Chain A
Amino acid sequence: DAGVTQSPTHLIKTRGQQVTLRCSPKSGHDTVSWYQQALGQGPQFIFQYYEEEERQRGNFPDRFSGHQFPNYSSELNVNALLLGDSALYLCASSLALAGGTAYNEQFFGPGTRLTVL
């Protein structure tokens, strides 16, 4: 059973460019969350996608956008890159909550390391 996969592993971009990161959820999962982890810090929630729609968003500017496809895979797009966007971007997948209170573990991918020069 393949876990959460992300591509690419590493990416180097220059300021002002645009980048697309990709995530394939764990088999059977339908919800994808994205997190940004700056060096030496804890992950920060960017947004979550379920049924191809953004369900919740963290405190990130509109330069950060996403998409979820019918097969539940997801993309994270960042426009007009800034030096401060350099970070590890983590994708986590889970199964949508059943009945609203059920516990659903989030499984994380290995991340994409983005460096903005």
Chain B
Amino acid sequence: AQTVTQSQPEMSVQEAETVTLSCTYDTSESDYYLFWYKQPPSRQMILVIRQEAYKQQNATENRFSVNFQKAAKSFSLKISDSQLGDAAMYFCAYRSYGSGNTGKLIFGQGTTLQVKP
């Protein structure tokens, strides 16, 4: 079975600074997706960024980028130029890839990010 671990329950960053959230996972599969989701206090889960395991290039979305280390099973999220609106709980998630998969997401425990003005 696949597992996702986020070892940082809380992180804080100064506005305009850069912060990195860590995630490790365990799987015996060779192809899969990895995600970072943001859940603000309003509760709506929002997709931040996606990485396909077969792609060596790290995904980027504006101020958000990932460091995907497949051999180490590590998937960290870097937020550059942090903004007050980035304050939220961030979840790392895993999804199997391939025929017949249901799109079931396996989430980590989450990291609460505080942004200080």
Is A16 at the interface (CB under 8 A from chain B)? no
The size of the chain A interface, using a CB distance under 8 A, is 30
Residues of B within 8 A of A110 (CB): 42-44
Assess whether B105 is in contact with A106, with CB atoms less than 8 Å apart.
yes
Is A74 positioned at the interface, with any CB of B under 8 Å from its CB?
no
Check B107 against A43 for contact (C-beta < 8 Å). Answer: yes
Q: Which residues of A contact B109 (CB under 8 A)?
A: 41-42
B14 to chain A: closest CB distance in Å? Answer: 24
Given A45-B104, A108-B46: 6 more A-B contacts, CB < 8 Å: A42-B93, A44-B107, A45-B106, A48-B103, A103-B33, A103-B52
A101 contacts across to B, CB distance below 8 A: 97-99
Chain A residues near B4: list those with CB within 8 A: 42
Q: How far does the alpha carbon of A109 sit from the alpha carbon of B91 in the complex, in Å?
A: 16
A109 contacts which chain B residues (CB < 8 A)?
Answer: 44
| B43 close to A104 (CB less than 8 A) | no
Chain B residues lying within 8 Å of A33, measured Cβ to Cβ, are: 102-105
A56 partner residues in chain B, CB cutoff 8 A? 102, 104
A-B contact pairs, 11 of them (CB 8 A): A41-B110, A42-B108, A43-B107, A44-B107, A45-B106, A92-B45, A94-B103, A103-B33, A106-B103, A109-B44, A111-B43
